[in-house]
Every structure is written in structure tokens, then in C-alpha cells.
Amino acid sequence: MAVLRLFAAARTAAGTARDLVPGDTVAEILATATQRYGDDFAAVLPSCAVWLNGDPATGDEPVGQGDEVAVLPPVSGGLR
């Protein structure tokens, strides 16, 4: 199982910051997460960046035991 890390709006939608999710690819991990967390998570996911072990992921990358998939919604802000 991969470690799924969720940030900002994705964390809020899922109700958790971290979970163990089964799947053989990043896409499978995200599909399982969408089923697990429901419509609010599904609505946030398309706008998110997804990373696998610290590198940008497109979905077809294989995921192994203990790999980390991170879901990062866009953020705004900064100094004026």
C-alpha cells in the first residue's frame, strides 16, 4: 500500500491528512481515494498537483509498498 498525503482543500474534503491506499499505479491510488472519500474529494482532485515520492506524477507511474503519493491543491497568497 502507498501512503497518500493530502494537503489543504484535499485534506479537508477527505477528512484526513494521511492514509494507506492500495493500488499499483498513481491513477489506481487516486481512484481508490475518490471512492473512499466521495464527491467533495472528487471535485477537488482535478485542480490538484499529484506527486510521487517528491516528483510530479501523471498517473501511469507504478506505485510500490511504502511509496508516497501527495495531492496538493493550488495555493494562492503571498506578500503584497
pLDDT band at 77 (very low <50, low <70, confident <90, very high): low
Give the DSSP per-residue string, 5-25: EE-HHHHHHHT-SEEEE--SB
How many domains is the chain partitioned into structurally?
Answer: 1
pLDDT band at 75 (very low <50, low <70, confident <90, very high): confident
pTM (two decimals): 0.91
- Is 53 inside a domain boundary? yes
Question: Which residues constitute the domain of residue 57?
Answer: 2-72
- Is 54 inside a domain boundary? yes
- Is 16 inside a domain boundary? yes
Residue 78, pLDDT > 70, answer no
pLDDT tens sequence across 19-41: 999 999 999 999 999 999 999 99
- Is 79 inside a domain boundary? no
- Is 78 inside a domain boundary? no
Give the DSSP per-residue string, 13-63: HHT-SEEEE--SBHHHHHHHHHHHH-HHHHHHGGG-EEEETTEE--S-SB-
Can you give the CATH number for the domain in which 30 is found? Answer: 3.10.20.30
